[in-house]
Homo-oligomer: A and B are copies of this chain.
Amino acid sequence: MPLPHRPSPRTPARLQDRATWLVSRAHARSFRLLNAGFEAHGGGLRGYHYRLLAALEEWGPSSQADVGRTTGIDRSDVTAALTELEAQGLVERSVDPANKRRKIVTLTDAGATRLLDLDAVIDGIQREFLAPLTAEQREQFLGLMSLLVEE
Residues 37-85 of A contacting B (Cβ, < 8 Å): 47, 51, 54-55, 57-59, 62-63, 65-66, 69-72
Q: How many residues of A contact B (CB 8 A)?
A: 62
- The minimal Cβ–Cβ distance linking A6 to chain B, given in whole angstroms, is 7
By secondary structure, the A interface counts as helix
**Residue pair A12, B148 in contact (C-beta under 8 Å):** no
**Residue pair B19, A30 in contact (C-beta under 8 Å):** yes
Q: Given the complex of chains A and B, what is the CA–CA distance between A12 and B57 in angstroms?
A: 9
The residue that A26 contacts in the complex, of B14, B59, B145, with Cβ under 8 A, is B145
Given A14-B119, A140-B144, 6 more A-B residue pairs with CB atoms under 8 Å apart are A5-B63, A9-B72, A18-B126, A130-B148, A137-B147, A141-B144
